[in-house]
Amino acid sequence: MSRSRNLALASAVLSVLAAPAFAEGLGLGRPALPEEIVAWDVAVLPDGTGLPEGSGDVLTGEEVFAEKCAVCHGEFAEGLDSWPVLAGGAGSLTDRRPVKTIGSYWPYLSTVFDYVHRSMPFGQAQTVTVDETYAITAFLLYSNGLVEDDFTLSKENFTEITLPNVDGFYPDDRAETEYPMFSTAPCMADCLDAPPQVTKRAIELNVTPEDPDGKPAGTLPPIMLTAAEAPGAPVAEAPAEEGAAENAADAEGSQANPALIAAGEKVFRKCAACHKVGEGARNITGPMLNGIVGRVAGTVDGYKYSKPMAEAGAGGMVWDAAELAAYLADPKGFLPGNKMSFVGLKSAEDRTAVIAYLGALGG
Amino acid sequence: MVPGFEGNMWVKWVRRIAVYDQAVEGREETSKYTDLMPDGRARKWTWVMDAKSVITSPSPQAPIRHGAGPLVITGLAWSGNGKIAQVDVSVDGGNTWAEARLSGDVKPKALTRFHFDMTWDGQEMLILSRAVDETGYVQPTKDALRAVRGVNNVYHNNAMQVWWVRADGEVENVEIA
């Protein structure tokens, strides 16, 4: 929605609403002139109310579209990136992923004219002239196979066009079709036939905004002392963690080297878009990497691995420094079919550094 | 401000007001806020939000940090069709339910706070809330809504929201069956 928001609204003038009595009393504002109201009232309704005088043909529309619209919607109205597709989609409304265009979904042609004239192009609203709007609308009809290439759309023939899905809508009927179904006495006990199973996890969709620490955006700050800080809590925990970090570093045959670890932290920026580390790290596109050094491959809880990676782990492959270095040098070549779409780290120095960094993270 | 209606009707900026004797059928009204049904037809002019509720604590942004022991599960319920009459809470994925307390002066179409007191044993839980409004409408499961509306119908999703509470108190947004 935000892409199509009319930015001009922020500076809109509200003088049309100013009551005359109020204006007289305070000396503010004035009644809107009829000409001003006409200029502001750009709404076009399904029965043609509000259509301005003018016309435009398909070929002109194609040129205007290429100049003003194609940068987002594509030369053929096919939609670039995630911008709306404007052509095609007929018969797709019962598909898993329907394509909603004026040819497949929109009920009224007036909506196309109204919206293009009122709000397009994005960021430059109301720079399309009336005739250009008729032409673009004609081109979109042509792109959807609804008119021939010699067609000219005008105020006069506008309401003769009926879009294919005009009868595809019906007013809200929930009161009849849903409310009786959902208004039975609620079950209070023994409501399930089988124990509930988790079938979908939002975290795997990777659409939840996160704070820099990897927690869901807006997570409330702790208001309690942590267990380690709480009075009377066992004090042995912190030293034990330090020991674990040292062991991890030792396991790969190098002493903890702060400079190397710091360098590795910088290298890790290349990885951080897909891998989280540190306290509370979660799986996102890739698995979280706490304790990766020394862990059996494919075993981070809750991450859905590729088949080759899962099999490598089942076969006993352990991510020691040598295996990690080989993997990071050539991710695809090391284990064909794995999910990591990363070109790899060409520099042996970078690989050593990032492995030292990962080793220092501990579990 | 349009109490009881879907959020996008709570207009942010008024540029001008015009009164028509027919539906304008604007771009958002026709192509976005219509509800495509499984048969390929679409509901239009669906504005009222049916009874809905969500647990705000514990939740992914409000994990349990105090460990096992006394726990108050709390959240919000509302309905576009009147007052909230009852909110039930389940901590076992919807097998058993218990009625929560409502607090404050319960008003039609207004957010209504509920609380459910329990003792947490520190084990994993699948928690969810279920609102019932004064018309007797019971907030449905997501599967029940999908059975009627299919999967391309999102603007009026008033299904129960399930949180997966882990033993460490962290909470995850999940669907269950």
Report yes or no: A356 and A260 within 8 Å, Cβ to Cβ: yes
Share of chain A above pLDDT 70, in %: 84
B136 SS3 class: coil
Q: Do B135 and A179 touch (CB under 8 A)?
A: yes
Is residue A196 within 8 Å of B93, Cβ to Cβ?
A: yes
* Least confident window among A11-20, A50-59, A166-175, B156-165: A11-20
Note whether B80 and B24 are same-domain residues. no
Produce one character per residue of A22-58: b if its CB has 16 or more CB atoms within 10 Å, e if not.
Answer: eeeeeeebeebeeeeeeebeebbbbeeebbeeebbbb
The token pair that represents A8 in the structure block: 């001009």
What is the fold of A240-361? Answer: Cytochrome Bc1 Complex; Chain D, domain 2 (1.10.760)
Nearest Cα residue in chain B from A107: B30
Q: What is the rounded CA–CA span in Å between residue A359 and residue A261? A: 9
Tell which residue, A328, A258, A267, has the closest CA to residue A293.
Answer: A328
Which residue range(s) make up the domain with B60?
52-174
Residues B32 and B106 in one domain: no
| One-letter amino acid for residue A112 of the chain | V
Contact A10 B13 (CB under 8 A): yes
Q: Same domain, yes or no, for B109 and B33?
A: no
In this predicted model, what pLDDT tens digit does every residue of A85-124 receive, in sequence order?
999 999 999 999 999 999 999 999 999 999 999 999 988 8
The reported pLDDT for the residue numbered A250 is 41
Kindly list the domain boundaries of chain A, sorted by start residue.
1-41, 42-160, 240-361
Whether the per-residue pLDDT at B115 is higher than 70: the answer is: yes
Grade residue A7 by pLDDT with cuts at 50, 70 and 90: very low
Distance CA A292, CA A90 (A): 50
Of A260, A253, A259, the closest CA to residue A320 belongs to: A253
Contacts with B174 from chain A: Cβ below 8 Å: 198-202
Nearest to B91 by CA among B58, B137, B52: B58
Which residues on chain A are in Cβ contact (under 8 Å) with B13?
Answer: 9-10, 12
Per-residue confidence band for A223, with pLDDT thresholds at 50, 70 and 90: low
Mean pLDDT of all residues belonging to chain A: 84
Backbone angles phi, psi at B158, to 5 degrees: -115, 25
- Is A5 a residue whose pLDDT tops 50? no
More confident residue, A74 or A230: A74
Q: What is the average pLDDT across B144-169?
A: 94
H or E stretch at B172: strand B171-176
Distance (Å, rounded) from C-alpha A46 to C-alpha A108? 6
Is B85 a domain residue?
Answer: yes
A193-218 pLDDT per residue, tens: 999 999 999 988 877 888 888 888 88
B27 and B57 belong to one structural domain:
no
Tell me how far CA of residue A243 lies from CA of A97, A164, A361, A363, B14, in angstroms: 52, 71, 12, 11, 63
Q: Say what the pLDDT of residue B134 is.
A: 98
Contacts of B173 in chain A (CB under 8 A): 201-203, 208
Question: Is there a single domain that holds both residue B78 and residue B121?
Answer: yes
Is B2 domain-assigned?
no
Identity of the residue in B43, B96, B177 whose CB atom sits nearest the CB atom of A189: B96
A221-225, A333-337, A353-357, B52-56: the lowest-pLDDT one: A221-225
Query: Chain B partners of A203 at a C-beta cutoff of 8 Å?
Result: 172-173
Query: Is B130 within a domain?
Result: yes
Q: Which residue of B has its CA nearest to A193?
A: B95
Residue A266 has pLDDT above 50, yes or no: yes
pLDDT of residue B3: 87
For the domain made up of A42-160, the CATH class stated in words is mainly alpha
Maximum CA extent, chain B: 61
pLDDT of residue A152: 98
Structure tokens at A48: 């043609």
User: How far is the C-alpha of B35 from the C-alpha of A37, rounded, in Å?
Assistant: 34
Q: Same domain for B56 and B105?
A: yes
What is the pLDDT of chain B when averaged over all its residues? 94
Alpha-carbon separation of residue A16 from A40, A263, A288 (angstroms): 10, 63, 57
Pick from A111, A217, A227: CB nearest B25: A111
Residue B34 clears pLDDT 50, i.e. is over it? yes
Give the pLDDT confidence of A57-70 residue by residue, as tens digits: 999 999 999 999 99
What type of residue sits at position B47?
A: W
The CATH number linked to B111 is 2.60.40.650
pTM of the model: 0.67
**Window B:8-67, CB contacts with A under 8 Å:** 8, 13-18, 20, 22-28, 30-32, 34, 36, 38-48, 50, 60-63, 65-67
| Residues from chain B contacting residue A196 (CB–CB below 8 Å) | 92-95, 126, 176-177
Q: Could you report the per-residue pLDDT of A17-44, keeping only the tens digit for each?
A: 445 555 567 888 888 899 988 888 899 9
At A311, the amino acid letter reads: E
Q: How far apart are CA B173 and CA A201, in angstroms?
A: 6
Check whether B13 has a pLDDT greater than 90.
Answer: no
Top residue of A2, A97, A198, A213 to mutate, by most chain B CBs within 10 Å, is: A198
d(CA A166, CA A153): 19
B118 shares its domain with B152: yes
- Tens digits of residue pLDDT in A146-191: 999 999 999 999 999 999 999 999 999 999 999 999 999 999 999 9
Highest mean pLDDT range out of A260-264, B7-11, B46-50?
Answer: B46-50
Clarify whether residues B83 and B147 are in a common domain: yes
Is position B167 within any domain? yes
- Residue B127 and residue B77 share a domain: yes
Longest CA–CA span in chain A (Å) reads: 87
Which of the four pLDDT bands, split at 50, 70 and 90, describes residue B140?
very high
Other C-beta atoms closer than 10 Å to the C-beta of A187 total 16
Q: Is residue B152 situated within a structural domain?
A: yes
Spatial separation of the C-alpha atoms in residues A285 and A298, rounded to whole Å: 14
Number of compact structural domains in chain B: 2
Weakest mean pLDDT among A200-214, A261-275, B1-15: B1-15
Task: Say if residue A224's pLDDT is above 60.
Answer: no
Complex ipTM > 0.85:
yes
Distances (CA, A) of B70 to A204, A230, B121, B123: 31, 18, 9, 13
Given a cut of 80, whether residue A236 has pLDDT beyond it is no
Q: What is the pLDDT of residues A283-293, one digit of tens each?
A: 887 899 999 99
Q: Which residues pair with B72 in a beta bridge?
A: B117
**Do A42-160 and A240-361 have matching folds?**
yes
**A244: nearest Cα among A105, A360, A150:** A360
At A9, the pLDDT band (50, 70, 90 cuts) reads: very low
